Amino acid sequence: MANEAHIKLRPGVETVLEQCHTAAIPLLVFSAGIGNIIEEVLKSKNLLYNNMHIVSNMMTFDDKDVCVGFDEPLIHVFNKSEFQLEETAYYESIKDRPNVILIGDSLGDLQMSQGVKHELSLNIGFCNHDFNSLEPIYKEAFDIVIMQDANFGPVIDLLEAITK
């Protein structure tokens, strides 16, 4: 079904995922969306790599493949800091890494790295709407702000610089 859907990824995301895979950088997709859909879309585009983990809302199905609910706990933009990454398989791949690059599109996403011990967190924010009112707030909160549904160019440049 994901192959038939016309889902457009932000330009450059393919390159970012490939760069992280090639450099063996653990990558977490931490989303308040539906994890099953995220996983299927990534698979359909051949972008689900072994360095990636998805922490998201996973649907549960009955014996007729009908969605009957979601695994607990439900993740939403305001509880991402409460989710315990230490309880996931992803944690083993990051527990000794001192640095985090956090990429989010809401102020609530800034809480995602709080469950992980790190020395440095570089926070990159995508400001996708209400540009005039949110730009000063995002510039105060994030280290780098990418405006108006722009591409992943700055992230690609950063990854190229740190993986040389």
Write out the chain's pLDDT in tens, 164 residues: 556 677 888 899 999 999 999 999 999 888 889 999 999 999 999 999 999 988 889 999 999 999 999 998 888 877 766 566 777 777 788 888 888 888 888 888 887 777 677 888 899 999 988 888 999 999 999 999 999 878 899 999 999 999 98
Distances (CA, A) of 12 to 48, 76, 106, 149: 15, 25, 20, 12
Rounded distance between C-alpha atoms, residue 34 and residue 14, angstroms: 20
List residues bridging with 101 in a β-sheet.
Answer: 122
Are 22 and 50 a contacting pair, CB within 8 Å?
A: no
Closest C-alpha among 21, 26, 35, 39 to residue 113: 26
Encoding tokens for residue 93? 């791949």
Residues 27/20, Cβ–Cβ less than 8 Å: yes
Q: What is the pLDDT of residue 70?
A: 95
pTM of the model: 0.83
Calpha distance 91→69 (Å, rounded): 26
